[in-house]
Amino acid sequence: ARPGPPRLIPKPGPAPRRPAPAAPQVEVQRIAATPAQAVELADDAIDRLLESGRNPGDVLVLTVGEAHPWQQHELSFGEERYWAQLAEGGDVFYADAALTRPVRREVVVLVVNGGPSAKAAKAYTKALGHATALLVVCGDAGPAVVGAADAAPGRPVKA
């Protein structure tokens, strides 16, 4: 009897790559607004979010132009108290869109109430990074959406 051909034993190699889990997709809603209307329409959107059962601590409001009146009010008590509210996370938090602190909230409302379009575009990208579930954009920021220009002011348009 003659021996058979030698069997090739596969060499161990790198483990097969598993695809990375898909990051949860953030829903984007747009509300057509001029810079002069943006704060008022954002406030209406926040009211609707809270009335629908969202926890106030899950909402972050970022402004591109002038600070939201509520942010100005909160800052009147001092910077330390203002930032402590962010850490506590129990209420809607209002900040400038240039916020550099690491904040993640379920819902981010981006208020485009002034400033150049380049600043609004950058704010859109940052706001998307702060949101875990929903980004509401009041005004013109981020990629254009078909149908958004035809939307009635104050009415959300899903992106």
- Asked if residue 74 has pLDDT above 90, the reply is yes
2 in any annotated domain: no
11 in any annotated domain: no
pLDDT of amino acid 125: 92
Domain hosting residue 145, numbered range: 27-158
Phi/psi of residue 78, nearest 5 degrees: 110, 150
Per DSSP, the residues of 43-103 read: HHHHHHHHHTT--GGGEEEEESSSPPHHHHHHHTT-HHHHHHHHHH--S-EEEETT--S--
13 in any annotated domain: no
Nearest CA-CA partner of 67 in 113, 35, 117, 109: 113
21 in any annotated domain: no
The structural domain count of the chain equals 1
- pLDDT tens digits along 30-57: 999 999 999 999 999 999 999 999 999 9
- Asked if residue 91 has pLDDT above 80, the reply is yes
The dihedral through the CA atoms of 104, 106, 112, 116 has a sign that is positive
54 in any annotated domain: yes
Sheet hosting strand 27-31, strand order edge to edge: 93-96, 59-63, 105-111, 131-138, 27-31, 156-158
pLDDT of amino acid 140: 86
38 in any annotated domain: yes
pLDDT of amino acid 141: 80
CATH code of the domain covering residue 56: 3.40.50.300
Percent of the chain with pLDDT over 70: 74
The mean pLDDT value of the chain amounts to: 84
18 in any annotated domain: no
pLDDT of amino acid 18: 63
User: What's the rounded mean pLDDT across residues 84-103?
Assistant: 92
